[in-house]
Amino acid sequence: MATEEHYELLDAVNDDVRKLMDEHKSRREHWYAHEIVPWERGRNYRQDPWDESQCTISPEARTSLVLNLLTEDNLPYYHSEIESHVGDHAALKEWNHLWTAEEGQHAIALRSYLLTSRNADPVELENDRLATMTAGYHSGATSPVNVFVYTTAQELATRVSHRNAGKLTDDPVAYELMSRISADENHHFMFYRGVVKAMLAEAPEITLQAILDELERFQMPGVAMPNFLRRAVEMAKAGVYNLRIHHDRVVVPVLRDWGIERLDGLSVKAQEIQEKLLAFPTELARKAEIFERRAGLATP
User: Which one of 24, 62, 106, 197 is in contact with Fe ion (CB under 5 A)?
Assistant: 106
User: Which one of 188, 231, 246, 249 is in contact with Fe ion (CB under 5 A)?
Assistant: 188
Q: Which stretch binds Fe ion (CB under 5 A): 4-12, 153-161, 241-249, 277-285?
A: 153-161
Q: Rule CB under 5 A: which of 50-79 touch Fe ion?
A: 72
Task: Please say whether the beta carbons of 162 and 185 come within 8 A.
Answer: yes
Q: Which stretch binds Fe ion (CB under 5 A): 14-22, 187-195, 196-204, 240-248?
A: 187-195
For CA atoms 254, 259, 261, 263, the dihedral sign is negative
Other Cβ atoms within 10 Å of 264 Cβ, number = 8
What is the rounded CA–CA span in Å between residue 64 and residue 162? 8
Residue (181 or 212) nearer to Fe ion, CB = 181
Strands (E), 149-276: none
Q: How far is the CB of 159 from Fe ion (least distance, A)?
A: 8
What is the rounded CA–CA span in Å between residue 296 and residue 136? 34
What's the one-letter identity of residue 149?
A: V
Spatial neighbors of 296 by CB under 8 A, at least 6 apart, are: none
User: Which one of 73, 128, 171, 185 is in contact with Fe ion (CB under 5 A)?
Assistant: 185
Tell me: does residue 128 bind Fe ion (CB under 5 A).
no
Spatial neighbors of 89 by CB under 8 A, at least 6 apart, are: 10, 11, 14
Q: How far is the CB of 188 from Fe ion (least distance, A)?
A: 4
Task: Return the closest-CA partner of residue 200 out of 3, 4, 16.
Answer: 16
Residue (190 or 251) nearer to Fe ion, CB = 190
Residue (143 or 182) nearer to Fe ion, CB = 182
Q: Rule CB under 5 A: which of 1-30 touch Fe ion?
A: none
User: Which one of 60, 103, 171, 213 is in contact with Fe ion (CB under 5 A)?
Assistant: 103
Q: Rule CB under 5 A: which of 256-285 touch Fe ion?
A: none
> How many chain residues interact with Fe ion (CB under 5 A)?
6
What is the rounded CA–CA span in Å between residue 209 and residue 88? 25
Binding site residues, Fe ion, CB under 5 A: 72, 103, 106, 155, 185, 188
